[in-house]
Chains A and B, each alone.
Chain A
């Protein structure tokens, strides 16, 4: 019977399936971090259980770490305690930790792929909704809650009902200055922040296929922002080339065997999806969000919708969002002065993102009214950026390269956007207070963020394209 890629991987990981019960799904690798794991380790202690497969568990500290002076002790007491707790728990339960100061430390969804831990055809979970990132390799990866973290630590399995399958195709040629982030913001703006709920999404089509692994990760990363449990992309030569030679990637005969399996991972031609959506790449502009959920996005030249465009029962929520953002009906964002630019997060902090921003800002200087934070996704990204001289380019442009972590994506660590300030951000969420109490977020691509850093305003990056030497 014809199967979707998702079903092929799911079926290969079912330990037991029983009518009326969720499947027991085997998890190949479990990523953990400091915020959603302490209560799970406590649970194990209370039950008197060990970590069932410590070698299949990988830990890092990312959410709660400073991105400046990481060699010093963490200043904030509760943050320091939580990070110390992770160290203690990993030591007690025999889990490998890439903590602060380790050359592999970084955002959990950046380090998995760059270390070759993330591979096609496998299952990954983490107590973090952006675990969907790893689906870019053609794997099943999704976020879980802390009770489930405890479940996977205790059993290496997860009780899970099979979700519905959705296929989202994007075909055609992207305009210059439009990239993966714009594609996913566009899709979410069309289907809403709840449009994918209950589904696992496979992204397909020639536009998706033409993306680098970094671009594919950006797309899969934001699957959760349309409510989908996860997203995946069938592996191809781009995937195989990316994984090859990485630290924990299979080697020698194991490699050949793995590649032979990966080449079977695609949705069969007649495979049935519960929902299929198609978009044209040519229709996509550089995107920006104006509201307080990621579905509230528009092309950068468009106007914010009017309250009356919405159904009566939705108008209250819409008005609340615009009030929070300090915007009004039909306003155009283009040209609006901004205060902060944040380039980072598990959505856009990989070396390719930093290279793109560096190529754009080279020889330019940031606007005086803007504070710019560039935060690499991992220690390895940071080192690579320094090796390529990108740090010097950023410094000349008026902003230093910071140290790795989740940073201003979530208003948890020291990096917060002050109340009332506007931030053009390459992260994934524009919720009220997400980047700090009463902060106001415009989500956009790294290029759009870089353009805003230079002009100090919301900018259509396409108008500055002649300056993009690297796109020749």
Chain B
């Protein structure tokens, strides 16, 4: 069953860097685990910790000012490797949604399959969030999946976002892709029996 997502209101963690690839989100040397848990400890590992495993003071996750359930990042978030560990790490760390002006395809799919909502906004709206958060770190955003909007609480500025209607229903109801395909098992077996090229 997929983790359920409906609505949140929360402060945010700003990461205004573009093209954040999944090797930054979780470096390959931490992909040796055979379960889904614990990846949050190594989220953004090499940006977050130095070579002696000490926290780097200038990285946002180590900054006492910023916290919240939403990560806001620059465009083309999640590019590169297909590792679902990236979505697991973000989720395991405690984020429920990622906001960016552009997501890489595979990351977006992986996030949706784990109840982590990717919210794609315009470049302008992304800038508005960054500006609001850097002006006041307590700035909150509200994300309403049912009505497909994101709102900056302090300014009231709002933007709608797109999501595949099937994936939306999965997130709101906790539906699962495997259950859906298994309910079509007869069609799969008929396909296999038909003369295919």
In the bound assembly, the distance between CA atoms of A139 and B163 in angstroms comes to 28
Residue of B nearest to A296 (CB): B19
Cβ contact within 8 Å between A261 and B197? yes
CA A143 to CA B188, docked complex, whole Å = 22
Assess whether A15 is in contact with B187, with CB atoms less than 8 Å apart.
Answer: yes
Contact A432 B17 (CB under 8 A): no
B-facing residues in A370-412 (Cβ within 8 Å): 410-412
User: When the two chains form the complex, which single residue of A39, A412, A419 contacts B28, counting CB atoms closer than 8 Å?
Assistant: A412
Q: Is the C-beta of B56 less than 8 angstroms from some C-beta in chain A?
A: no
Are the CB atoms of A433 and B24 closer together than 8 Å? Answer: yes
Q: Give B111-130 as 1s and 0s: 1 = Cβ < 8 Å from A's Cβ atoms.
A: 00110000000010001000
The answer to whether A147 touches B197 (Cβ under 8 A) is no
0/1 interface trace, chain A 419-459, chain B, CB 8 Å (1 if under): 10000000001011110011000000000000000000000
Give complex CA distance A360, B137 in Å: 58
Nearest chain B CB to A444 CB, angstrom units: 19
Which chain A residues border B188 with CB–CB below 8 Å?
15, 24, 26, 155-157
**B48 vs chain A, min Cβ distance (A):** 12
Interface string of A153-166 (1 = CB under 8 A from B): 01111010101000
| Residue-wise interface mask of A (117-155) relative to B, using a CB-CB cutoff of 8 A (1 in contact, 0 not) | 000010000011100000000000001111110110011
Residue in B closest to A39 when the chains form the complex, CB atoms = B36
Residues of B within 8 A of A157 (CB): 181, 188
A82 to B34, CA, bound (A): 7
Assess the B127–A143 pair: CB atoms within 8 A.
no
Closest to A82 in B: B32
Per the bound structure, the CA–CA distance linking A21 and B183 in Å amounts to 14
A148 pairs with B34, CB closer than 8 A: no
Known: A64-B32, A79-B32, A432-B46. A313 touches B127 (CB 8 A): yes
Residue contact B82 to A151, C-beta cutoff 8 Å: no
Closest CB-CB distance, B68 to chain A, in whole Å?
Answer: 22
Chain A 283-297: CB-based contact to B (< 8 A → 1; otherwise 0): 000000000110000
Interface residues of B in 1-51 (CB under 8 A from A): 16-19, 21, 23-24, 27-29, 31-36, 46, 51
Please judge, given known A-B contacts A24-B188, A155-B181, A433-B27, whether A144 and B82 are in contact too, CB under 8 Å.
yes
- Asked whether any CB of chain A lies closer than 8 Å to the CB of B105, the reply is yes
> In the complex, which of the residues B29, B34, B166, B180 contacts A411, with contact meaning CB atoms closer than 8 Å?
B29
**Residues of A150-202 whose CB lies within 8 A of B:** 150-151, 154-157, 159, 161, 163, 193-194, 197-198
Contact yes or no, B187 A16, CB < 8 A? yes
In the bound complex, do residue B82 and residue A129 qualify as a contact, i.e. CB atoms below 8 Å apart? Answer: yes
Check if A432 sits within 8 Å of B166, measured CB to CB: no
Task: Determine if B18 and A197 form an interchain contact, defined as CB atoms under 8 angstroms apart.
Answer: no
How many residues belonging to A are interface residues under a CB distance threshold of 8 Å? 66
A151 to B110 Cα, complex, angstroms: 12
Contact, CB under 8 Å: B76 / A155 = no
In this assembly, does B95 line the interface, its C-beta being within 8 Å of a C-beta of chain A?
Answer: no
* CB of A314 closer than 8 Å to a CB of B: yes
Interface flag for A1 (CB, 8 Å): no
Contact among B18, B27, B32, B51 with A314 in the assembled complex (CB-CB below 8 Å)? B18
Which residues of chain B from 153 to 197 have any CB-CB distance to chain A below 8 Å in the complex?
164-166, 177-178, 180-182, 184-185, 187-188, 191-192, 196-197
Closest to A28 in B: B196
Given A26-B188, A145-B109: A432 and B23 within 8 A (CB)?
yes
The residue that B106 contacts in the complex, of A143, A155, A159, with Cβ under 8 A, is: A143
B111 to chain A: closest residue by CB = A145
Which among B35, B51, B188 has the greatest number of chain A C-beta atoms within 10 A?
B188
- State the CA gap A429–B81 with chains docked (Å): 9
On whether the beta carbons of A316 and B181 are closer than 8 Å, the reply is no
CB of B29 within 8 A of CB of A412, answer yes
Q: Which B residues from 80 to 120 make CB contacts under 8 A with A?
A: 80-85, 87, 102, 104-106, 109-110, 113-114
Residues of B within 8 A of A21 (CB): 166, 180
Chain A residue nearest to B166 in the complex (CB): A21
Asked whether A47 is an interface residue with its Cβ less than 8 Å from the other chain, the reply is: yes
Is there contact, CB below 8 Å, between A145 and B87? yes
A128 partner residues in chain B, CB cutoff 8 A: 81-82
Q: Which of B19, B21, B110, B178 contacts A47 (CB 8 A)?
A: B178
A109 in the interface (beta carbon within 8 A): no
Q: How far is the CB of B189 from chain A (nearest CB, A)?
A: 9
Contacting pair A437 B177 (CB below 8 A): no
Interface contact A145-B110, CB-CB below 8 Å: yes
Residues from chain B with a CB closer than 8 A to the CB of A292 are 19
Partner of A229, one of B28, B35, B36, B105: B105
26 examples of A-B residue contacts, CB within 8 angstroms: A12-B196, A22-B166, A24-B187, A26-B188, A35-B32, A38-B34, A38-B35, A39-B34, A78-B32, A79-B32, A81-B32, A82-B32, A128-B81, A129-B81, A144-B109, A145-B113, A146-B84, A147-B84, A148-B109, A150-B178, A155-B182, A194-B79, A320-B17, A412-B31, A434-B28, A438-B51
Known: A151-B181, A261-B197. 17 other contacts (CB 8 A): A38-B35, A42-B35, A78-B33, A144-B82, A145-B83, A148-B177, A227-B76, A293-B19, A293-B79, A410-B23, A412-B31, A429-B23, A429-B81, A431-B24, A432-B46, A437-B51, A438-B51
Chain B interface (Cβ < 8 Å from any Cβ of A)? 16-19, 21, 23-24, 27-29, 31-36, 46, 51, 74-76, 79-85, 87, 102, 104-106, 109-110, 113-114, 123, 127, 164-166, 177-178, 180-182, 184-185, 187-188, 191-192, 196-197
